[in-house]
């Protein structure tokens, strides 16, 4: 009985709260008006009488009371001063301070009205605890408990609406003492209603998930409708509550596809209200888009089988983002693009940013869907692209938003690899369509659609940035084909002949586009299309001869671009050369790579894949020489590419020749591979020295190539060395002229040349060390033969004497050249070598040698030092005489 009485008293108290608040608010308003009137009257009595002034009427309560600022509205700008009333000033006026942002205004409002926030939280928790208390105590039946909570929520909402209608809820309506109170009451009622519905579902099981979801949707709609009158706070409450409610409720069954439509409708509701009300900052529209997109993404994560509905919802929300924020049924966004903001630091319109964010998220969703279903993801990416290129064709500020869907579409090419069968044998025509090849053809078809639409946009009289659209038309389909070739092995899946036919068809289409552009006077677009068509023709024909086609076709693209750049005075085409060079390098070094070029590939195809690019790049260099940037930088790139590929070609041919003569050894192959990497690194360093652009990426690539070359050289000098290696192979060839030359002398010469070219003492030192290592091995091989090269066989006395004589000869040559050329560096190097020889003779030879060998070592060293002393004195005397003759002539 006591619990029953207590429960009834608690319910009565809770229901009395909104009534009491209303009464208190009304009385406070009346008392405030009376106090303001009295204060104004007292001020008028205390002020001395002035016959020249008119009496001041007593202010009303709204005029006399200063209300706290509303955080969801932008402060009004200061009233402009008339031109005739302003005094001219020689100095410019300081800039007006920027109004505070939404967060700053919200913090200020909360600091001034924290009691309202506490009241809202208290009222909401009161309703929730009412439901919880009924469940814990079992005082009333479940229906009564839920009904009581709903009645309490309704009382709060009605109380808020009564206060708003009579006394207002915004400064513009004259509300001062009641400012914010109606929103607090109605917001607490909305939260209480949501809690009652959730209690009916989870605590009592009165209704099922589907009915509960419908109830929460209705509550969210009610909050949005109330927000139309109260302000954005209630709209935000409805959007947030509506977005979170399906996850709290648990959905409406195993199939969650309907929830995607629900979130699209939720986004529509919020965008529609903000499109009319246009609250400052447009944060309600941002919230609506976030609720719609985020909710649909989370539902798909919970139910991957709802992917088609997810794609449709993303497409619908994208259309809403293109229209409602701008207030137009057909997008026509003026102003700046996002790319202009990133490059020129000029902020676009909020509606442009909303559309850009939605397109970017939609493109990421399309790629994510493609990992589950390539065709579905490609379809969504195509729909987003068509929405921008056709539906938003009059929106100048949205043109660059065609890039994210195209990028997502191209990124789907590698996903086709896991969905294709085993490749066909080369030059085999398939009977019918191979299983799984439909994915490849579908991606090609979608990319072809993108290219066609981009071509139409490039000729559109609407606000159009014609050159980027033309580039998209020319590049998209070939780029998709290239990616499918490289990442999904598409030619092997479809067969060489069908793949070549596709390339020829694309070339024919680009030829027609080039003709139409040329007729319209778009010379640059016509040149690019013709260049790409020529490249595709060469690629298609080349595919009939094997894996060489792609490498030669890209090098041909570089030459064609260089030829057109000079013929049509279009230096911008030099970018094709700059991009083609690293691709050809990647083809040689990575795919099909070194192994294919030096070992497994057919000799004719390998020769064509190496020699033809070198020739084409050298011809491209001749065409680009003398043109302005970027063609001048492209000329340097073409030259270095030609020299690098030529060095690669000569080295690969040398390895092939050694294999043909059966004199290939591990150390020789390692040395030549190291030389290849050194040559490629030198080409990148030379481009950096010539300031051809991309300095840091080129330095990084050069460092990578250098590390690979150094690694190959170290392996050749240690693990597979004939001197100390565990896996070393015997030296092939006669003394001096044998496999030690390609193994160590050739990379040493490359390092010395790089050190001299780029002024690097590290490279020079590495080259000298490698050359010295070659000299030691060459002497040992000449004395002991190939069978006794290992260090385990010891060092003979005759070998020690030869090393001493070699050091004496080397030091004498360096010392003599230093004197003859007047080069102090060579002279110091010779002195250093001779000092090392003296140390070797006195410390090593004296103990290790015996008999005539010891005599020979000391005799040779002594005679050499005497001779060099005489040469040094003779050179010094001659230099002094020359200086004396010069001074006499001057006198």
Residue 847 in tokens: 């103990």
Q: What are phi and psi of 558, to 5 degrees?
A: -65, -45
Q: Which of 868, 817, 816, 818 is nearest to 838 (CA)?
A: 868
Would you place residue 731 in the very low, low, confident or very high pLDDT band (cuts 50, 70, 90)? confident
| Cβ-contact 666, 677 below 8 angstroms | no
Would you place residue 77 in the very low, low, confident or very high pLDDT band (cuts 50, 70, 90)? very low
Q: Which of 446, 377, 387 is nearest to 415 (CA)?
A: 377
State pLDDT tens for residues 601-643. 888 888 888 899 999 999 998 888 877 666 677 888 888 888 8
| Cβ-contact 409, 381 below 8 angstroms | yes
Residue 57, C-beta contacts closer than 8 angstroms, at least 6 positions apart: none
For 132, how many CA atoms within 13 A lie in the half-sphere containing its CB?
8
Residue 184 has what pLDDT?
72
Residue 221 has what pLDDT?
74
- Report the mean per-residue pLDDT for the chain: 76
Would you place residue 838 in the very low, low, confident or very high pLDDT band (cuts 50, 70, 90)? confident
DSSP one-letter string for 526-589:
HHHHHHHHHHHHHHHHHGGG-TTHHHHHHHHHHHHHHHHHHHTT-GGGHHHHHHHHHHHHHHHH
On the question of pLDDT at 62 being above 60, the answer is no
Would you place residue 588 in the very low, low, confident or very high pLDDT band (cuts 50, 70, 90)? confident
Instruction: Label residue 227 exposed, middle or buried (CB < 10 Å: 0-12, 13-18, 19+).
Output: buried
Q: How far apart are CA 39 and CA 41, in angstroms?
A: 5
For 41, how many CA atoms within 13 A lie in the half-sphere containing its CB?
6
- Indicate the length of the chain as a whole number: 891
What does the H/E/C string look like for 709-777? HHHHHHHHHCCCCCCCCCCCCCCCCCCCCCCHHHHHHHHHHHHHHHHHHHCCHHHHHHHHHHHHHHHHH
Q: How far apart are CA 413 and CA 626, in angstroms?
A: 39
Q: Which of 12-26, 91-105, 781-795 has the lowest mean pLDDT?
A: 12-26
Q: Average of pLDDT values for 550-579? A: 82
Residue 796 in tokens: 């003979």
Residue 316 in tokens: 């619908």
Residue 887 has what pLDDT?
52
Instruction: Label residue 192 exposed, middle or buried (CB < 10 Å: 0-12, 13-18, 19+).
Output: buried
Q: How far apart are CA 659 and CA 669, in angstroms?
A: 10
Q: Which of 28-32, 258-262, 451-455 has the lowest mean pLDDT?
A: 28-32
Q: How far apart are CA 628 and CA 647, in angstroms?
A: 28
Please provide the distance, in angstroms rounded to a whole number, between the alpha carbons at the two ends of the chain.
134
Residue 208 in tokens: 């099922």
Residue 20 has what pLDDT?
46
Instruction: Label residue 730 exposed, middle or buried (CB < 10 Å: 0-12, 13-18, 19+).
Output: middle
Residue 410, C-beta contacts closer than 8 angstroms, at least 6 positions apart: 447, 476, 479, 480, 483
CB neighbours of residue 13 within 10 Å: 11
| Owner of token pair 């063609």 | 631
Q: In whole angstroms, what separates CA 659 from the centre of its chain?
A: 44
On the question of pLDDT at 576 being above 50, the answer is yes
Residue 93 in tokens: 């006026």
Q: How far apart are CA 307 and CA 154, in angstroms?
A: 39
On the question of pLDDT at 751 being above 90, the answer is yes
Cis (ω within 30 of 0) for the bond into 270? Answer: no
Q: Which DSSP helix (H) or strand (E) runs through 195? A: helix 181-198
Q: Which of 357, 377, 355 is nearest to 300 (CA)?
A: 377
What b/e string do you get for 37-58 counting C-beta neighbours within 10 Å, with b at 16 or more? eeebeeeeeeeeeeeeeeeeee
State pLDDT tens for residues 207-236. 876 787 678 778 777 777 777 777 777 677
| Cβ-contact 570, 533 below 8 angstroms | no
Q: How far apart are CA 331 and CA 146, in angstroms?
A: 47
Q: How far apart are CA 395 and CA 393, in angstroms?
A: 6
Angstrom distances, CA of residue 863 to CA of 255, 765, 829: 99, 29, 20
Helix ranges, 79-139 (H)? 102-112, 114-137
Residue 391 in tokens: 């539906």
| Cβ-contact 658, 611 below 8 angstroms | no
On the question of pLDDT at 258 being above 90, the answer is no
3-state SS, residue 60:
coil
Higher pLDDT, 234 or 142: 142
| Cβ-contact 837, 807 below 8 angstroms | yes
Higher pLDDT, 19 or 449: 449
Q: In the chain, pLDDT over 70 holds for what percent of residues?
A: 69
Would you place residue 445 in the very low, low, confident or very high pLDDT band (cuts 50, 70, 90)? very high
């Amino acid at each position: 009985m006591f619990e029953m009485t207590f429960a009834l008293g608690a319910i009565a108290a809770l229901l009395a709260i909104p009534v009491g608040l209303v009464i208190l608010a009304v009385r406070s308003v009346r008392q405030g008006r009376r106090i303001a009137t009295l204060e104004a009257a007292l001020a008028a009595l205390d002020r001395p009488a002035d016959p020249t002034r008119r009496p001041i009427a007593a202010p009303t309560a709204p005029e006399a009371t200063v209300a706290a600022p509303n955080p969801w509205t932008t402060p009004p700008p200061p009233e402009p001063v008339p031109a005739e009333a302003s005094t001219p000033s020689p100095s410019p006026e300081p800039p007006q301070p920027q109004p505070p942002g939404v967060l700053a205004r919200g913090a200020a409002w909360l600091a001034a009205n924290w009691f309202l926030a506490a009241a809202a939280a208290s009222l909401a928790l009161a309703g929730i605890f009412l439901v919880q208390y009924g469940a814990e105590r079992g005082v009333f039946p479940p229906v009564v408990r839920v009904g009581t909570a709903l009645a309490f929520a309704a009382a709060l909402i009605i109380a808020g609406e009564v206060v708003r209608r009579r006394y207002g809820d915004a400064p513009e309506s004259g509300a001062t003492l009641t400012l914010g109170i109606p929103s607090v009451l109605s917001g607490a009622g909305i939260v209480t209603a949501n809690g009652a519905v959730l209690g009916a579902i989870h605590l009592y099981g009165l209704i099922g998930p589907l009915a509960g979801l419908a109830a929460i949707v209705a509550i969210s709609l009610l909050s949005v409708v109330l927000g139309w009158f109260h302000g954005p706070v209630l709209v935000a409450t409805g959007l947030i509550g509506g977005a979170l409610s399906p996850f709290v409720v648990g959905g409406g069954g195993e199939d969650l596809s309907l929830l995607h439509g629900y979130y699209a409708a939720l986004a529509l509701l919020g965008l529609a209200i903000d499109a009319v009300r246009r609250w400052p900052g447009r944060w309600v529209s941002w919230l609506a888009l976030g609720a719609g997109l985020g909710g649909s993404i989370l539902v798909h994560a919970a139910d991957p089988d709802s992917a088609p509905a997810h794609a449709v919802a993303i497409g619908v929300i994208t259309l809403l983002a293109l229209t409602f924020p701008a207030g137009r049924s057909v997008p026509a966004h003026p102003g700046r693009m996002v790319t202009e903001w990133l490059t020129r630091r000029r902020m676009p319109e909020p509606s442009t940013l909303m559309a850009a964010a939605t397109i970017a998220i939609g493109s990421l969703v399309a790629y994510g869907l493609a990992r589950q279903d390539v065709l579905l993801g490609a379809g969504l990416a195509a729909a987003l692209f068509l929405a921008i290129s056709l539906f938003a064709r009059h929106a100048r500020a949205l043109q660059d938003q065609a890039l994210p869907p195209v990028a997502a579409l191209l990124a789907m090419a590698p996903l086709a690899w896991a969905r294709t069968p085993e490749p066909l044998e080369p030059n085999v025509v398939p009977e019918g369509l191979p299983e799984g090849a439909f994915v490849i053809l579908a991606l090609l078809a979608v990319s072809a659609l993108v290219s066609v639409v981009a071509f139409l946009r490039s000729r559109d009289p609407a606000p159009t940035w014609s050159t980027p659209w033309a580039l998209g038309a020319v590049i998209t389909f070939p780029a998709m084909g290239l990616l499918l070739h490289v990442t999904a092995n598409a030619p092997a899946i479809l067969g060489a002949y069908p793949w070549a036919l596709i390339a020829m068809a694309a070339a024919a289409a680009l030829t027609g586009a080039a003709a139409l552009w040329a007729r319209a006077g778009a010379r640059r677009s016509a040149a690019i299309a013709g260049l790409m068509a020529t490249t595709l023709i060469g690629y298609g024909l080349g595919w009939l001869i094997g894996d060489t086609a792609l490498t030669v076709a890209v090098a041909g693209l570089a030459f064609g671009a260089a030829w057109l750049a000079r013929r049509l005075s279009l230096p911008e085409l030099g970018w094709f050369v700059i991009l083609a060079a690293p691709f050809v390098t990647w083809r040689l070094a990575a795919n099909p790579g070194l192994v294919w070029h030096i070992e497994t590939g057919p000799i004719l195809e390998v020769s064509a894949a190496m020699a033809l690019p070198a020739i084409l790049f050298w011809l491209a260099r001749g065409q680009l020489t003398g043109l302005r940037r970027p063609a001048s930088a492209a000329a340097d790139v073409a030259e270095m590419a030609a020299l690098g590929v030529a060095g690669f070609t000569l080295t690969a041919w040398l390895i092939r020749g050694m294999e043909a003569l059966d004199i290939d050894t591990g150390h020789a192959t390692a040395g030549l591979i190291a030389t290849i990497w050194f040559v490629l690194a030198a080409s990148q360093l030379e481009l950096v020295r010539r300031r051809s652009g991309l300095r840091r990426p080129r330095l990084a690539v050069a460092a990578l190539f250098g590390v690979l070359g150094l690694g190959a050289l170290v392996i050749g000098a240690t693990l597979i060395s004939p001197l100390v290696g565990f896996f070393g192979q015997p030296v092939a060839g006669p003394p001096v002229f044998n496999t030690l030359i390609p193994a160590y002398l050739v990379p040493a010469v490359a390092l010395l040349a790089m050190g001299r070219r780029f002024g690097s003492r590290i490279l020079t030192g590495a080259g000298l060390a490698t050359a010295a290592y070659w000299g030691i091995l060459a002497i040992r091989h000449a004395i002991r033969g190939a069978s006794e090269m290992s260090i385990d066989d010891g060092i003979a006395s005759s070998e020690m004497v030869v090393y001493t004589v070699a050091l004496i000869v080397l030091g004498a040559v360096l010392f003599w050249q230093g004197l003859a050329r007047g080069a102090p560096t060579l002279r110091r190097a010779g002195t250093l070598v001779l000092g090392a020889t003296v140390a070797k003779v006195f410390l090593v030879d004296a103990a290790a040698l015996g008999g005539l060998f010891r005599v020979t070592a000391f005799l040779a060293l002594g005679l050499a030092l005497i001779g060099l002393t005489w040469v040094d004195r003779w050179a010094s005397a001659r230099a002094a005489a020359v200086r004396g003759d010069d001074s006499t002539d001057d006198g």
